[in-house]
């Protein structure tokens, strides 16, 4: 029996993450210029770790809409990417999750990491 193949389409189907094309540069530039989540929740932090992101997510004073977005960042970076809680969260991810339309259309499967055949 040949080995099972688990490609990008299967990964997208299982995770629910998009696997299309990257957004237009103009869209990305507009979104990446926004740093609202960083400015509100991590103003005095140079490098945000998964652990710091999780602490902010769990804080009861964090507005519900922001908690939802921070939770999405935790899933993308903490579940799919990070080997441990000390891994840094890039500003691009925070900017993308702050724009939910872009987040749900973004090709996360293509940027989360390279897939191997299993």
List the pLDDT tens digit at each of the 118 positions of the chain.
777 777 777 777 777 777 788 888 888 888 888 899 999 999 998 889 888 999 999 999 999 999 999 999 988 887 776 666 667 788 898 999 999 999 988 988 777 654 433 3
Length of the chain: 118
pTM above 0.75, yes or no: yes
Cβ pair 63, 53 in contact under 8 A: no
SS3 of 88, please? strand
Return the H-helix or E-strand segment holding 30. Answer: helix 25-32
Asked if residue 47 belongs to a domain, the reply is yes
Nearest Cα to Cα of residue 81 among 91, 69, 93:
93
Asked if residue 80 belongs to a domain, the reply is yes
Nearest Cα to Cα of residue 48 among 38, 36, 62, 58:
38
CA atoms within 13 A on the CB side of 71: 9
Instruction: Look at residue 86 in the predicted model and tell me its pLDDT.
Output: 67
Residue 47: give the domain boundaries.
22-106
SS3 of 53, please? helix
Rounded to whole angstroms, the Cα distance separating 84 from 44 reads 22
Asked if residue 55 belongs to a domain, the reply is yes
Asked if residue 93 belongs to a domain, the reply is yes
Asked if residue 48 belongs to a domain, the reply is yes
Asked if residue 42 belongs to a domain, the reply is yes
Asked if residue 118 belongs to a domain, the reply is no
Asked if residue 1 belongs to a domain, the reply is no
Nearest Cα to Cα of residue 57 among 49, 68, 46, 47:
68
The tally of domains found in the chain comes to 1
């Amino acid at each position: 029996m040949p080995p099972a193949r688990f490609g990008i389409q299967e990964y997208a189907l299982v995770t629910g993450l998009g696997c299309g094309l990257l957004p237009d540069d103009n869209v990305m530039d507009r979104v990446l210029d926004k740093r609202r989540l960083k400015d509100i929740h991590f103003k005095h932090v140079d490098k945000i770790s998964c652990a710091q992101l999780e602490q902010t997510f769990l804080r009861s004073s964090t507005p519900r809409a922001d908690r939802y977005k921070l939770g999405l960042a935790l899933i993308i970076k903490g579940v799919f990417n990070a080997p441990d809680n000390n891994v840094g969260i890039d500003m691009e991810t925070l900017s993308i999750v702050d724009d939910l339309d872009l987040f749900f259309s973004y090709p996360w499967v293509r940027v989360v990491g390279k897939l191997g055949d299993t």
